[in-house]
């Protein structure tokens, strides 16, 4: 058992090294350099136009004119010290920029994961109990229909319907600008009001996978001998489903949630741009537009670490739920 966990740690370590290497190389494969992007004025935006001499000076100042191996070593050394570098565009530490935007992305990722898991498990259990009934058919048709729509397109449809058409929700942002709150509860209500549509879009897209897996796993578990024994004891149908069958069906669902967390991170990046939500997704779009290498590297690193952490938590949860993994 101990060797298995050592192998897991080695696997995660190699994966992290590959992520760091790709994270370093991919931004530098973009054509041009960040200071050419800053020197190219676009319509409706103000840019500091740099001369060729100034551009060379900044390339030397940030070390971008040095050979790639030297830049790579400096990058790894900075990561080990917890230094993600300085943003070329915002002239601010990358770590500080990420700390400002990360809570908004975490709100969407964790909120949508919790909602899709809770609703998916509940509705999947409900559909399994009423297999081939009207409720089962309605849930299957509606949820599979939502799953075929990309998260950003579903977000756009929700925005047009509920924000533009009905005016029930704000069009953009995470909080009402310049509003003075009378207490933390009023601020929390305003934040949730702005987050409703992005959360709804992400939840509806992720809900179907959990629902189908819970339903199908429960239908397989329902034919096992221990379920027949539980029914024979006369403990009640509701308790049979939620206490015995569901607990044994949760293992693949938990694994699915860990994998889904990675997809949720990618989907959140797109949804944030639809709703102009000030999270890492908006910051990533801005950093790619101006080719801000340190900022791109910092965002990609945080997103990759979030996916690795979600997979590690899924492994630990499966280890806890499945006694066979604990005892050999």
pLDDT digits (tens, 9 = 90+) for 289-316: 777 888 888 888 888 888 787 777 777 7
Mean pLDDT for 175-184 is: 77
Is the domain of 70 the same as that of 109? no
Question: What pLDDT, in 10s, does the model give residues 233-289?
Answer: 666 666 666 665 666 677 777 777 766 776 677 778 788 888 888 888 888 888 887
As separate numbers, helices (DSSP H) first and strands (DSSP E) second, the chain gives: 14, 0
Is the domain of 33 the same as that of 142? no
Is the domain of 159 the same as that of 233? yes
CA distance 279 to 265: 11
- In the predicted model, is pLDDT for residue 22 greater than 80? yes
Confidence of residue 4 (pLDDT cuts 50, 70, 90): low
pLDDT for residue 188: 84
Mean pLDDT for 19-40 is: 71
CA angle 189, 191, 197 (to 5 degrees): 105
Residue 86's DSSP bridge partners are 93
**What count of residues does the chain have?**
328
Could you tell me which residue, 134 or 318, shows the higher pLDDT? 134
Is the domain of 34 the same as that of 142? no
Look at the chain and report how many structural domains it folds into. 2
Is the domain of 218 the same as that of 273? yes
Q: Which domain holds residue 276?
A: 101-326
The share of the chain scoring above pLDDT 90, in percent, equals 0
H, E, C per residue of 232-259: HCCCCHHHHHHHHHHHHHHHHHHHHHHH
pLDDT for residue 33: 65
CA distance 135 to 42: 54
Residue 60 lies in a domain: yes
pLDDT for residue 246: 67
Residue 175 lies in a domain: yes
Reduce the DSSP state of residue 172 to 3 states and report it.
Answer: coil
Q: What's the CATH code of the domain at 170?
A: 1.10.3720.10
Residue 279 lies in a domain: yes
Is the domain of 287 the same as that of 207? yes
Residue 6 lies in a domain: no
Do 279 and 272 form a contact (C-beta atoms < 8 A)?
Answer: yes
Could you tell me which residue, 109 or 323, shows the higher pLDDT? 109
Is the domain of 105 the same as that of 76? no
Could you tell me which residue, 77 or 34, shows the higher pLDDT? 77
Residue 86 lies in a domain: no
Among 248, 251, 206, 3, which Cα is nearest to 112's?
A: 206
pLDDT for residue 299: 86
Do 119 and 238 form a contact (C-beta atoms < 8 A)?
Answer: no
Do 174 and 195 form a contact (C-beta atoms < 8 A)?
Answer: yes
Is the domain of 107 the same as that of 60? no
Among 109, 107, 137, which Cα is nearest to 123's?
A: 137
Residue 143 lies in a domain: yes
Among 26, 32, 37, 34, which Cα is nearest to 68's?
A: 26
Read out DSSP for 311-323? Answer: HHHHHHHHHHH-H
- In the predicted model, is pLDDT for residue 166 greater than 80? yes
Mean pLDDT for 156-166 is: 86
Question: What pLDDT, in 10s, does the model give residues 43-87?
Answer: 444 445 566 676 777 777 677 777 778 888 888 887 888 778 788
Is the domain of 210 the same as that of 163? yes
φ, ψ for residue 93, nearest 5 deg: -60, 135
Is the domain of 195 the same as that of 270? yes
Residue 87 lies in a domain: no
CA distance 64 to 159: 41
């Amino acid at each position: 058992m101990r060797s298995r966990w050592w192998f897991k740690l080695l696997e995660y370590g190699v994966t992290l090294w590959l992520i760091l290497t790709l994270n370093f190389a991919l931004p530098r494969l973009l054509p041009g350099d960040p200071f050419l992007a800053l020197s190219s004025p676009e319509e409706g935006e103000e840019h500091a136009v740099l001369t060729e001499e100034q551009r060379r000076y900044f390339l030397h100042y940030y070390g971008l004119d040095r050979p790639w191996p030297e830049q790579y070593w400096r990058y790894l050394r900075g990561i080990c010290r917890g230094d993600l570098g300085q943003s070329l565009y915002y002239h601010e530490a990358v770590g500080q920029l990420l700390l400002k935007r990360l809570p908004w992305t975490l709100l969407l990722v964790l909120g949508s994961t919790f909602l899709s898991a809770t609703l998916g498990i509940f509705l999947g259990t409900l559909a399994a109990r009423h297999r081939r009934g009207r409720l089962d058919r309605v849930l299957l048709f509606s949820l599979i229909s939502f799953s075929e729509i990309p998260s950003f397109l579903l977000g756009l449809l929700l925005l047009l319907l509920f924000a533009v058409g009905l005016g029930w929700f704000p069009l953009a942002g995470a909080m009402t600008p310049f509003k003075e709150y009378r207490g933390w509860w009023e601020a929390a209500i305003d934040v949730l009001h702005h987050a409703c549509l992005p959360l709804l879009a992400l939840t509806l897209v992720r809900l179907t996978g959990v629902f189908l897996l819970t339903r199908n796993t429960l239908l397989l578990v329902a034919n096992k001998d221990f379920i027949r024994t539980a029914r024979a004891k006369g403990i009640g149908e509701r308790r049979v489903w939620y206490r015995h069958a569901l607990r044994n069906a949760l293992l693949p669902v938990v694994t699915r949630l860990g994998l889904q967390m990675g997809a949720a991170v990618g989907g959140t990046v797109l949804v944030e741009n639809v709703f102009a939500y000030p999270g890492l997704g908006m910051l990533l779009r801005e950093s790619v537009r101006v080719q801000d290498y340190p900022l791109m590297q910092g965002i990609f690193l945080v997103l990759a670490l979030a996916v690795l952490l979600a997979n590690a938590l899924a492994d630990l949860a499966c280890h806890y739920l499945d006694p066979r993994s604990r005892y050999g």
